[in-house]
Amino acid sequence: MKHKSFLFLQFLFIFCSLFLFEQLHSQNICSGADHGMNICPDSTVSIWGYNHYGELGDGTTTPSYHATPVNGMNHALAITAKGNHSLVLKADGSVWAWGDNSYGQIGNGTTIQQNIPIQVNGLSNIISIASGYLHSMALRSDSTVWTWGDNGMGALGDGTFLQRTTPVQVIGLTGIISISGGGDFSLALKSDGTVWAWGYNTLGQLGDGTTISKNIPVQVNGLTHIKAIIGGGYHAMALKNDSTLWAWGYNNNGQLGDSTNTTRLFPVKVKALSGTLSVSSGYLHTLALGKDSTVWAWGNNALGQLGINNTNFFNYPMHVLNLNHVIQISAGRYHSLTLKDDFNAWGFGYNQFGELADSIGYQSNVAIPSRPLCPIPQSIMEFNKNEFSFSLFPNPFDNMTTIEFKEVQKFITLKIVDVLGNEVRSLRLANTNRATIFKENLSAGIYFLLVTNEQNHVFTKKLILQ
> How far is Cα 346 from Cα 413, in angstroms, rounded to an integer?
31
Q: Which of 445 and 300 is assigned the larger pLDDT?
A: 300
What pLDDT was estimated at residue 14? 34
Length of the chain: 466
Q: Which of 167 and 441 is assigned the larger pLDDT?
A: 167
Say yes or no to pLDDT of 459 above 70: yes
Question: What 8-state DSSP symbol labels residue 351?
Answer: -
CATH architecture for segment(s) 383-465: Sandwich (2.60)
> How far is Cα 115 from Cα 47, in angstroms, rounded to an integer?
13
Q: For residue 7, what is the enclosing H or E element? A: helix 5-9
Query: Can 11-369 and 383-465 be said to share one CATH topology?
Result: no
> How far is Cα 306 from Cα 107, in angstroms, rounded to an integer?
34
Closest CA to 447 of 127, 25, 29, 24: 25
Domain 11-369: which topology?
A: Methylamine Dehydrogenase; Chain H (2.130.10)
The model's pLDDT over 367-411, given as tens digits with 9 standing for 90+, comes to 999 999 987 554 443 334 445 677 787 877 878 888 888 788 888
> How far is Cα 460 from Cα 135, in angstroms, rounded to an integer?
37
Specify whether the CB–CB gap between 410 and 375 falls below 8 A: no
Q: Where are the domains of the chain?
A: 11-369, 383-465
> How far is Cα 243 from Cα 158, in angstroms, rounded to an integer?
32
Q: Mean pLDDT over residues 116-127, rounded?
A: 96
Other CB atoms within a 10 A radius of the CB of residue 267 amount to 25
The model's pLDDT over 50-93, given as tens digits with 9 standing for 90+, comes to 999 999 999 999 999 999 999 999 999 899 988 899 999 998 99
Q: Mean pLDDT over residues 340-352, rounded?
A: 92
| pTM for the full predicted model | 0.81
DSSP 268-326: EEPTT--SEEEEEE-SSEEEEEETTS-EEEEE--TTSTT-SSS---EEEEEEPTT--SE
What pLDDT was estimated at residue 16? 43
The model's pLDDT over 247-284, given as tens digits with 9 standing for 90+, comes to 999 999 999 999 999 999 999 999 988 889 999 999 99
Specify whether the CB–CB gap between 222 and 235 falls below 8 A: no
> How far is Cα 408 from Cα 454, in angstroms, rounded to an integer?
12
